Amino acid sequence: MSSSRSSSAPVEGTLRPADHADSAAPEPGDDRITQPQLGVIGWIRWGWRQLTSMRTALVLLLLLAVAAVPGSIVPQRSADPNGVSQYRVDNPDLFPVLDSLQLFDVYTSAWFSAIYILLFISLIGCVIPRTKHHWKALRARPPRTPARLSRLDDHVETVVALGEGEDAGVAAAAAIDLAQVQLRKAGYRVERYDGRGAVSVSAERGYLRETGNLVFHASLVGVLLAVGIGGGLTYTGQTVIVEGDSFANSLGLGYTSFNPGRFVDTEALSPYALTLDSFDVTYTPVGEAGQGQAGSFAANLTVREPGQEARAGVVRVNHPLEIGGDRVYLMGNGYAPTVTVRDPDGNVVFREDVEFLPSDTTMTSQGVIKVTDGLSDQLGLVGFFYPTAADLPSGALTSVFPDLMNPVMTLRVYAGDLGIDDGTPRNVYALDPTGMTQIAGPDAESPSLELEPGQTVDLPNGMGTITFEDATESGADEVVKRYVSLSVHRDVGAPWVLTFAVLALGGLLAALFVPRRRLWVKAVPVDDNAAGGAGGRAGALRIEYAGLARGEDPAIAVAVADLARDHGAAMGRNAATGQNATTGQNATNTTKVD
């Protein structure tokens, strides 16, 4: 790179983009020289250099930050699909415009992807040559000692008087030997450069800084790849289990919804089955702060895997259950009243645990019952369940506490065609009353049906009876059964993402906090006149200490001063002349010596 331009500075030890602040500044007029005569290859090279420059990386980083923001303002299909539907209802005119800009899928949009893909190309284009260069640097010896150490910013000089009859050359070599040992002990890589008239040691440390930098950036690529590839091998599925019921991990049998990644073999899911034995929850009692707040959720499961004995497993919030490489999460819970419908002759035409969806924190819940066969008409029932029912002033019911203190179910009844015979897919949790007649409820002659557990009432028009079963009679713990909604995940990428993320953090620590620096110690014999020495025939040694920071290094001056102090002390000679020398421009550094 541009290292050749800096004549006096030592050879670059780190290959950086040309516009890195620590690279040598381009000489004025440089651009003019390279601009003409760009062939196709030249343009490609130019483009590549632009893309991998620091400035481009920086602009892309800032663009990435800005581009991520809309996704927090506009609801996203991935995180909040209901919010998107609501947005469409609320802003019918704006919605298509935003949708065409992919603002509801920001993080998979073409423009967001373009930014991060360019950023990563830029990153890779920067990291690969730097890795090669660093690999070489790791095996290279510290560079030759600069001819004039005094030109470096961090520089300390001492003059040591020699004893009577002492050979200056031998003393110089001994002093540098000592410095070499000290530097090596301090973790520096050292190299001797002994030449005419001067003996010196060149030392470098902090290769870990660049290693960390490269590890950090490479790990980011690793994170991206793990997310991308892992996503293709990941699946998530949702299921609902009522107390006493079971779930089989098979696409056809168990799931209410299933989202496989591109490479998932849906025929080869881990074969296991789960039974919900019971669901525990505690509610903050009435009269305490946070009354009615639910907590300590626990789904007590029996896990059956082929060739193994059944075992107990518990799913809690923050504590998913691991089974055969899958993780099972507790996503929600609710009540599933057991309802029986009989025809006028008393034959059971419907008997199910109906899952009611809670709509508030007091577990007022809504559910739908569809009786397709066995009665004179198809019946659709829209039910409300109040675990602790109380009358509102309006006469309507409400739930005042989420636990089963006074459970009541009310039902509106519709008769007619449920519209499920023609094969149209219908949501089991919703009833479309089109083409049906309300025969019990606010719009009908009969009021809504109201039942407590164990109670049976007649359906209107003598169609039969409906019973809200007391679940304890069939062995359940409570009068109304509970259900849990579970989410089953397999994410083979996640451990890799974590590994790379931790590597990135480690790399970052090294890249930001390990100082990379070079130190030199040079001993030059000087004749007694120049040294102003201790008189007689004795000569003197001028010992120079200098340092060069490679990148951010707030402690470089201190490091040079410490080196001078420790080396001087080890030589035991500093009393002769002290450490007061050096010239004007370095005065601020020398002041730190003492």
Binding site for another protein (CB under 8 A): 19-23, 25, 54-55, 57-58, 61-62, 64-65, 68-69, 71-73, 75-76, 78-80, 83, 106-107, 227, 236, 284, 289-290, 293-297, 316-320, 327, 329, 331, 487, 489, 491, 494, 497-498, 501-502, 504-505, 508-509, 512-513, 551-552, 554, 588
> What is the C-alpha radius of gyration for the chain, rounded to an integer number of angstroms?
39
145 φψ region: left (φ > 0), alpha (ψ -120 to 50), beta (else): beta
Nearer to another protein, 289 or 312 (CB): 289
Place of tokens 């030890």: 13
Q: Which is nearer to another protein, 332 or 419 (CB)?
A: 332
Torsion of CA 247, 253, 258, 264, to 10 degrees: 100
- The least CB distance from residue 296 to another protein, in Å, is 7
Per DSSP, the residues of 44-57 read HHHHHHHHTSHHHH
Measured from the CB atom, the residue of 382 and 556 that comes closer to another protein is 556
Q: Work out how close the CB of 515 gets to another protein at its nearest, in angstroms, rounded to a whole number.
A: 12
Residue 434 C-beta-side C-alpha neighbours within 13 Å: 5
User: Are residues 539 and 526 in contact, defined by beta-carbon separation less than 8 angstroms?
Assistant: yes
Cα-Cα-Cα-Cα torsion 95, 96, 97, 101, nearest 10 degrees, comes to 100
Name the DSSP letter for residue 128: H
Of residues 323 and 459, the one with the C-beta less far from another protein: 323
Paired sense of beta strands 311-316 and 273-283, if any: unpaired
CB nearer to another protein: pick between 229 and 331: 331
CA dihedral (79, 82, 84, 89) in degrees, to 10, reads -170
Q: Which helix (H) or strand (E) holds 374?
A: none
Beta carbon nearer to another protein, 54 or 173: 54
**Least distance CB 24 / another protein (angstroms):** 10
Query: Cα–Cα distance between 238 and 244 in angstroms, integer?
Result: 18
Decide whether 386 or 500 has the Cβ nearer to another protein: 500
First-residue to last-residue Cα distance in the chain = 40
> Minimal distance in Å, beta carbon 517 to another protein?
16
Host H or E run for residue 410? strand 408-416
Closest distance to another protein from the beta carbon of 293 (Å):
6
- Residue 509 C-beta: closest distance to another protein, Å: 6
Nearer to another protein, 159 or 504 (CB): 504
CB of 69 to another protein, least distance (A): 6
We find the least distance from the C-beta atom of residue 424 to another protein, in angstroms, to be: 31
HSE (CB half, 13 Å, CA atoms) of 47?
A: 9
Q: Which two tokens stand for residue 570?
A: 């080890």
Please report how close the Cβ of residue 228 comes to another protein at its closest, in angstroms. Answer: 13
Please classify residue 326 by burial: count the beta carbons closer than 10 Å to its beta carbon, then call 0-12 exposed, 13-18 middle and 19+ buried.
buried
Strand residues in 422-516 grouped as ranges (E): 436-440, 449-451, 455-458, 465-468, 481-490
Rounded to whole angstroms, the Cα distance separating 63 from 155 reads 42
Instruction: Check if the beta carbon of residue 436 is closer than 8 Å to that of residue 418.
Output: yes
Closest to another protein by CB, 503 or 571: 503
3-state SS, one letter per residue, for 530-561: HHCCCCCCCCEEEEEEEEEECCCCCCHHHHHH
Nearer to another protein, 252 or 554 (CB): 554
Cβ proximity to another protein, 319 vs 537, nearer residue: 319
Identify the CA nearest to 27 among candidates 5, 49, 56.
Answer: 5
In whole angstroms, give the CA distance from residue 387 to residue 72.
36
Phi and psi at 340, nearest 5°, equal: -120, 135
Q: How far is the CB of 58 from another protein (least distance, A)?
A: 5
DSSP symbols for 262-297: TT--GGG----EEEEEEEEEEEPPTTSTTTT-EEEE
Query: Which one, 101 or 349, has the nearer CB to another protein?
Result: 101
CB of residue 111 vs another protein: minimum separation in angstroms? 15
Min separation Cβ 525 and another protein, Å? 31
Identify which of residues 40 and 587 has a Cβ nearer to another protein in the complex.
Answer: 587
Structure tokens given for 166: 């002492």
Q: How far is the CB of 351 from another protein (least distance, A)?
A: 33
